């Protein structure tokens, strides 16, 4: 069975279009059957695409939050009313964390490419899963703490006398809430990425 | 013939060895789940039983603080309770991992559920942390005052209950890694 499938695959791989990749594929096939290899390669390509989407979501969140500031059109002699993300420490943490997540995702792309080229190698998969889980926690922490603060900015809290600031700074609030939503989208992408890595580890 | 037998012996020994290793991983997983359960249930109870009434009151208002005055803290209690319930239920599957040898499918199931619970617990803990920070320090720019000057022991207790939750987050990450390592071993 093993030999047969190898025979079938060889002419397909060595057609003129695939010639450049042929040696790498040969190395990968050494230690296992080729049926689950194709399955794992499909998973790896899906993983790569999800990473690209997560990069967009994470960087969009960081950029939206980082550029959100609003100056009100009226001012007194001493005071100018303006709000920007660095008035609130939680939003600062959000910007830094989302930038870190975006940077990590860009750096993880090469490892993801390695898993496409060698779909049956365990080490890069395991590395990706370990790092992804850590960054998932960072991403979730940033998104949900910013969500808690934006909820407070929208609704305020009567019991502690914290007044909602969104009645004055409507634009600022909308932008920061949008950034939080985008961060949660990237959390969802990360969750799927971890699950994909787990499934691919099972099928080797 | 003899060499073939030796080979068979060798491989069976290898299988035994890897079986022993994966059993150790399963036992470690079981223990970690119990520890994580006590952490989450502890912080849920600590947060849930916190309330403070100030010793002075006016005619109309009594000054008191409770966890359900703040929605983020309510979410924290619910999230911790849900995760601790999940951890107790997952002990059965962890036990199956100790007993059985072929455990790939249940391990995948546990990875998926663990990741979901990690997300829930992290969001509960960090949103509560954001609110607790605000209660301690307030924010001048937005006119949110620090309430910890009045409600001292309330603030201490809610800060303490965050610790257990964050320890449980670390343990859940370790659990996911253990499952992944067990999956990646050759069978």
Q: What is the pLDDT of residues A91-111, one digit of tens each?
A: 999 999 999 999 999 999 999
Is A183 in contact with B123 (CB distance < 8 Å)?
Answer: no
Residue A33 to residues A30, A53, A169, A199, Cα–Cα distance (Å): 8, 31, 61, 17
User: How many Å from the N-terminal Cα to the C-terminal Cα in chain A?
Assistant: 17
> Does a structural domain hold residue B85?
yes
> Does a structural domain hold residue B62?
no
Q: What is the pLDDT of residues B119-155, one digit of tens each?
A: 999 999 999 999 999 989 888 888 888 888 888 888 8
For tokens 């190395």, the residue is: A27
| Average pLDDT value for residue range A47-51 | 94
Q: pLDDT at residue B2 above 60?
A: no
pLDDT on residue A80:
62
CATH number for the domain whose boundaries are A40-67+84-201: 1.20.120
Report the residue from B111, B127, B141 with minimal CB separation from A148.
B127
A43 CB within 8 Å of a chain B CB = no
Residue B13 burial (10 A CB sphere; 0-12, 13-18, 19+): exposed
CB contact under 8 Å between B118 and A133, yes or no, is yes
> Does a structural domain hold residue B125?
yes
ipTM of model: 0.82
| Average pLDDT value for residue range A182-186 | 95
Best interface-test mutation with B: which of A93, A152, A188 has the largest number of B CBs within 10 A?
A152
Residue A19 distance to chain B (closest CA, Å): 31
Quick one: pLDDT band at residue A31, thresholds 50, 70, 90?
A: very low
Q: Where are the alpha helices (DSSP H) in A19-169?
A: 22-29, 35-66, 89-117, 123-155
Domain, as residue range, for B103: 2-48+70-186
Cα separation, A199 vs B17, whole angstroms: 25
pLDDT on residue A11:
47
Comparing CA positions, the residue from B86, B89, B114 lying closest to residue B176 is B114
CB contact under 8 Å between B181 and A126, yes or no, is yes
More confident residue, B23 or B90: B90
Phi, psi angle pair for A128, to nearest 5°: -60, -40
Report the residue from B126, B179, B183 with minimal CB separation from A141.
B126
CB contact under 8 Å between A148 and B112, yes or no, is no
Report the residue from B126, B145, B173 with minimal CB separation from A144.
B126
Cα separation, B156 vs B120, whole angstroms: 24
As for how many domains chain B has, the answer is 1
A140 CB within 8 Å of a chain B CB = yes
More confident residue, A19 or B33: B33
Best interface-test mutation with A: which of B121, B129, B131 has the largest number of A CBs within 10 A?
B131
Cα separation, B73 vs B125, whole angstroms: 9
Domain extents for chain A? 40-67+84-201
Q: What is the pLDDT of residues A60-85, one digit of tens each?
A: 999 999 888 777 776 666 666 677 88
**Cβ neighbours, 10 Å, residue A80:** 10
């Amino acid at each position: 069975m093993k030999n047969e499938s190898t025979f079938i695959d060889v002419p397909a791989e060595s057609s003129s279009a695939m010639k450049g990749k042929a040696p790498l594929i040969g190395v990968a096939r050494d230690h296992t059957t080729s049926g689950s290899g194709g399955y794992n390669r499909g998973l790896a390509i899906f993983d790569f695409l999800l990473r690209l989407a997560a990069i967009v979501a994470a960087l969009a969140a960081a950029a939206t939050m980082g550029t959100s500031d609003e100056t009100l059109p009226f001012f007194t002699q001493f005071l100018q009313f303006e709000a920007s993300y660095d008035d609130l420490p939680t939003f600062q943490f959000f910007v830094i964390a989302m930038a870190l997540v975006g940077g990590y995702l860009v750096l993880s792309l090469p490892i993801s490419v390695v898993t496409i080229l060698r779909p049956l190698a365990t080490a890069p998969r395991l590395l990706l899963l370990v790092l992804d889980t850590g960054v998932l926690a960072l991403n979730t922490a940033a998104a949900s703490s910013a969500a808690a603060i934006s909820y407070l900015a929208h609704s305020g809290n009567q019991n502690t006398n914290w007044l909602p600031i969104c009645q004055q700074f409507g634009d600022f609030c909308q932008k920061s809430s949008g950034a939080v939503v985008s961060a949660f989208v990237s959390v969802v992408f990360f969750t799927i990425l971890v699950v994909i890595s787990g499934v691919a580890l099972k099928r080797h | 013939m003899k060499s073939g037998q030796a080979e068979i012996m060798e491989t069976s020994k290898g299988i035994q060895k890897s079986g022993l290793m994966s059993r150790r991983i399963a036992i470690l997983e079981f223990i970690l789940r119990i520890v994580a359960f006590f952490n989450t249930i502890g912080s849920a109870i600590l947060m849930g039983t916190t309330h403070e009434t100030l010793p002075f009151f006016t005619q109309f208002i009594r000054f008191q603080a409770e966890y359900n005055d703040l929605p983020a803290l309510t979410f924290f209690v619910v999230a911790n309770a849900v995760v601790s319930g999940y951890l107790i239920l997952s002990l059965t599957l962890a036990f199956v991992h100790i007993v059985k040898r072929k455990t790939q499918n249940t391990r995948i199931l546990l990875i998926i559920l663990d990741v979901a619970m990690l997300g829930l617990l992290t969001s509960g803990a960090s949103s509560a942390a954001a609110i607790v920070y605000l209660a301690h320090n307030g924010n001048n720019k937005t006119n949110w005052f620090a309430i910890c000057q009045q409600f001292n022991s309330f603030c201490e207790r809610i800060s303490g209950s965050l610790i257990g939750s964050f320890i449980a987050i670390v343990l859940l990450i370790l659990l996911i890694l253990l499952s992944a390592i067990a999956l990646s071993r050759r069978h």
